[in-house]
Structure 1
Amino acid sequence: MSIPQSGGGPIEHHSQLAEYLADGCKPKSDWRIGTEHEKFGYCKDTLRPIPYAGERSVLAVLEGLRDRYGWSPIHEGEYLIGLEKDGANVSLEPGGQLELSGAPLETIHQTCDEVNEHLREVRSVADEIGVGFIGLGAAPIWRHEDMPQMPKGRYKLMTDYMDRVGTMGKTMMYRTCTVQVNLDFASEADMVQKLRVALALQPVATALFANSPFFEGKVNGHKSWRSRVWRDLDPARTGMLPFVFDEGFGFEAWVEYALDVPMYFVYRDGKYINALGQSFRDFLQGKLPALPGETPTLSDWADHLTTIFPEARIKKFIEMRGADGGPWRRLCALPAFWVGLTYDQGALDAAWDLVKGWDAETREAWRVGASERGLQAEVGGRSMQDLAREVLDIARSGLKARARPGLGGMVADERHFLHALEDSVETGKVPADELLEHYNGDWGGDLSRIYGAFSY
């Protein structure tokens, strides 16, 4: 999850809220790719989650990265809670999941190199202290009481609030992992088209990256349990956002939606102030109970936007949020998938033509089907496998048209990053299917085998 935002002055006019989003508009030459991924850390001998502090801990990994590879520390009070270097940062999720939020980079070749370097660095530190890391959509065995809590004020407030608004909020926080990609837009119209495509086709990403068929030591009946968790978290801030497809949608409509999402906190002087369930509209009028008489800054608005969790969302860029965390190879496949669909106008138009006739019920049916059945989902007589094949064809054409070479020109473009997804479409099997085959086959129902077989 996000670190505190900074650099925004007082909000004096309502128009500044939409202007903040519009400031993200960039010419195509300045579009970048930001890849984020989370992973679970565990002690290799006990297979238990690593705590915040101690000889084998999240803190030990952060300190190792800081001292060995030149990362600069980020503190909250006395606690080391993150690192930053060259436009990227390493942060902690609530249950100790380690996240890389990558720098904005020009090509998928570069973002994949960044991911690879990060995983090599993490492994070099972790191996020395007996810690492993694994990429899955949900913790396969651990229960809530097994999970540590990271010393971040934001997470304490959110934990206290989650059971008031749903049944799976704490599960999401402590026992799920994702891989995401952040992408740019040129204008309001470009943002609208991209966000609509992102929401409509997010279930295809969910299906292709489904990697969480186990939970609390059992088969859970879903290919992506992480996706199921998000469906019962907090309806005020999650979902497929049907209003995005309404005529006239734009930055201002997103502002009105965000203003109706209840607040979590206000960040002041290094501390998170409890504003749970309070209204940003009241804040704008100086009537926030948490800070009577005080009005917000643009930094507060930026913070609030990070507390909205739909399947795709906008800040000064668009975040694609539907994929499970997964194996090394697929961490580069996700940016390839979405860049191919959205960074070439011909591909983006083709993707929109594919989905523009769907209604809200169809989009939601694909979402549920992806979670439950992966590529075997069917909606309206069409299979997810066939839909994914067509979507990948569009993404491939978009990457070809981008023609961004790698390896000093030895690789013509970025299409090869889609190979893992193409394999899935040809076989009909996603990572969850592979896990289930092992569980029912050579693992003999011993789920502890997952750590040795699928860690980074």
Structure 2
Amino acid sequence: MVTSPELDQSEILRESAAAHRHLARICFKTGPPTYTGVELEWTVHDAADPARGVDPARLRAALGRHSPVTLDPASPAEPLRHGGTVTLEPGGQLEISTPPRTSTGALIQATEADIAQVTGLLATAGLTLGRSGIDPYRRPRPMLDTPRYRAMRRMFDRRGPAGRTMMYSTAGLQVCLDVGEPEQVAPRWAAAHAVGPPLLAAFASAGRHAGRRTGWASARMAAWLAIDPARTRPVWVPDDPDDDPTAAWVRYVLAAPLLCVRRSGEDWSPPPGVTFADWLDGALPRPPTTDDLDYHVSTLFPPVRPRGYLELRYLDAQPDRDWRLPLAVLSALFSDPGTVRAAYAIAAPVAHRWSVAARRGLADPALAAAAAALLDLALAALPRLGLPAGVDDDIHEGVRRRLAAVRTADR
């Protein structure tokens, strides 16, 4: 999960074969599956009145030297004490991205310490972190305005309001897992996708938005699925489970329309409908570079995104310390090749049910049954993680609690 120095040089791309080589080199870095990372997002609220808007100056004062430069251009953007970095989404959602760790237990402990530091900073300003995957109190409202976010908003507005909901109101939990050895890439890639719908259903927390029930188990995922299928649909599909991951990803990347083109000035909007493949074919005044390709990849948001590691993006933010549960479940399910195969076998029959998982969650019997079987499998594999005693007890209890809720929903 560390970028290689030799990839820092930006090169001009003149053909799709060069783009393919670059994507294969940076997006699927093979090796022993060693590291795990987590990225946590929350909406931010006034502690006394969570429906009240949060002023950027108030959040900037609370975060101080940890403010991202998008909030305070003069900020040193210092990492938190245990290495996590603070960033903000366009609506002011706060994100902590952790350095990857070789131990899930060490990752949990370091992340908890960084969360405690941030919550302490926010508390001094009368602010608190949200508890769900979408803002349950407020309508979508921008806080940050950058050329990237303006271009994003313009493109998404063509398809309706879902883009603004996603940008300004949603909060997710992302788990990052190594790709694995060459022979493990395809099974881990397929399993990472297949377990998505049942685990989305099991951990859905985004049913209420802007003061009303939405009718969705995860209105956060509903917004993501609605904004632009060319950049949010899954890369892997059950109809072609043996498709080469690298080839599938290259096709996806090159076929996706440009979201923005970086240039001097405030307007980064691309010509409508131009894909990266079109850019390679000369659709824009200058040829693209590998840096442009990397930036384009950062504007694609499938449920599983390869970034040298596998970034699993389909989970809602969780209340309080419950973020540890899906992290531990996924770490356990991917702890050895046999468990990966077993997880895939359980989830494959429901691997296509993304929209159903977002709308119905555990009310769908097939998803509930698969979720229960995956949690059972994870419980059996948790001892492999070697969690510290206190953490291990808490995680086991939390997963058993979630499993009981899933089984109740399955009746």
- Common topology (TM > 0.5): yes
Separation in 2 of the partners of 1:218 and 1:258? 36
Do structure 1's residue 135 and structure 2's residue 131 form an aligned pair?
A: yes
Deviation at 1:266, TM superposition (A): 3.0
Give me the whole-angstrom Cα distance separating, in 2, the residues matched to 1:171 and 1:84.
29
User: 1:373-412 residue pairs with structure 2 within 5 A?
Assistant: 373-378=360-365, 382=366, 384-400=367-383, 403-407=384-388, 410=389
The residue aligned with 1:425 is 403
Q: Partner residue of 1:437?
A: none
Determine which of 180, 191, 197 is the counterpart of 1:186: 180
Quote the offset at 1:135 in angstroms: 2.6
Task: Give 2:406's aligned amino acid.
Answer: G
Report the equivalent of 2:246: 251
Comparing 173-182 with 221-230, greater Cα deviation is found at: 221-230
Aligned counterpart in structure 1 of residue 224 of structure 2, from 206, 223, 230: 230
Does residue 328 in structure 1 map to residue 309 in structure 2?
no
**314-323 or 416-425, larger mean C-alpha shift:** 416-425
Q: CA deviation at 1:81?
A: 9.8
Q: Does the 8 A contact of 1:178 with 1:324 survive in 2?
A: yes
How is 1:115-154 mapped onto 2 (pairs within 5 angstroms)? 115-144=111-140, 147-154=141-148
Structure 2 distance, partners of 1:257, 1:75, is 29
Structure 2: distance between partners of 1:267 and 1:83: 26
Change (3 A) 1:269 1:137: same
Matched, 1:353 2:345: yes
**Alignment partner, residue 336 of structure 2:** 344
> What is the letter of the counterpart of residue 323 of structure 2?
L
The corresponding residue for 2:269 is: 274
Q: Write out per-residue CA displacement over residues 244-283 of structure 1, whole angstroms, 9 at most, x where no aligned residue.
A: 7524323122111111111112335797733264221232
CA contact (8 A) 1:264 1:274 kept: yes
Q: Hey, what's the Cα distance between the residues in 2 that align with 1:152 and 1:62?
A: 20
Local SS of the residue matching 2:247: helix
Pair 76,137 (structure 1): closer, same or farther in 2 beyond 3 Å:
closer
- Three-state SS of the structure 2 residue aligned to 1:35 is strand
| Alpha-carbon distance in 1 for matches of 2:78, 2:256 | 30
| Structure 2 counterparts to residues 164-313 of structure 1, below 5 A | 164-241=158-235, 243=237, 246=240, 247-267=242-262, 273-275=268-270, 277=272, 278-288=274-284, 292=285, 294-313=286-305
Corresponding residue SS for 2:376: helix
Structure 2: give runs of 5+ residues left out of the alignment.
1-6
Which among 26, 32, 35 is matched to residue 32 of structure 1?
35
Task: Name the aligned partner's letter for residue 261 of structure 1.
Answer: A
Aligned to 1:104: 100
For 2:22 and 2:323, locate their aligned partners in 1 and report how far apart those are by CA, in whole Å. 30
CA contact (8 A) 1:33 1:111 kept: yes
Q: Is the 8 A contact 2:41 2:173 kept in 1?
A: yes
Whether 2:168 is the aligned partner of 1:162: answer no
Equivalent in the alignment of 1:70: none
- Which one is further off, 192-201 or 366-375? 366-375
Unaligned runs of 5+ in 1: 1-5, 67-72, 434-456
Q: Residue type of the partner of 2:268?
A: I
Q: Distance in 1 between matches of 2:230 and 2:93?
A: 25
Q: Deviations over 1:186-217 (max 9, x none)?
A: 24552322222122211122112111221221
Q: Quote the Cα distance in structure 2 between the aligned partners of 1:131 and 1:250.
A: 43
Change (3 A) 1:87 1:266: farther
CA distance in 2, matches of 1:22, 1:244: 22
Asked whether the 8 Å contact 1:28–1:186 carries over to 2, the reply is yes
The DSSP-based 3-state class of the residue aligned with 1:232 is: helix
Structure richer in strand, relative to its length: 1
Aligned match of 2:4 = none
Of residues 44-53 and 301-310 in structure 1, the stretch that sits farther from structure 2 once superposed is 44-53
Which of 19, 22, 43 lines up with 2:21 in the alignment? 19
Report deviation, 1:423: 0.8
| Equivalent residue runs for 1:79-90 within 5 Å | 80=75, 83-84=78-79, 88-90=84-86
**Aligned-partner SS, 1:318:** strand
Aligned residues: 397
Partner Cα distance (1:429, 1:162) in 2 = 38
Equivalent pairs: percent with the same residue?
27
CA contact (8 A) 1:167 1:232 kept: no
* Separation in 2, partners of 1:397, 1:250: 29
Q: CA–CA distance in 2 between the matches of 1:109 and 1:263?
A: 39
Taking only aligned residues, the RMSD between alpha carbons, in angstroms, comes to 3.0
Cα deviation, residue 424, structure 1: 1.9
Structure 1 residue 397: deviation in Å? 3.5
For the Cα contact (< 8 Å) 1:75–1:82, is it kept in 2? no
> Contact conserved, 1:33 with 1:108, CA < 8 A, in 2?
yes
Alignment TM-score, normalising by the size of structure 1: 0.78
AA in 2 matched with 1:19: R
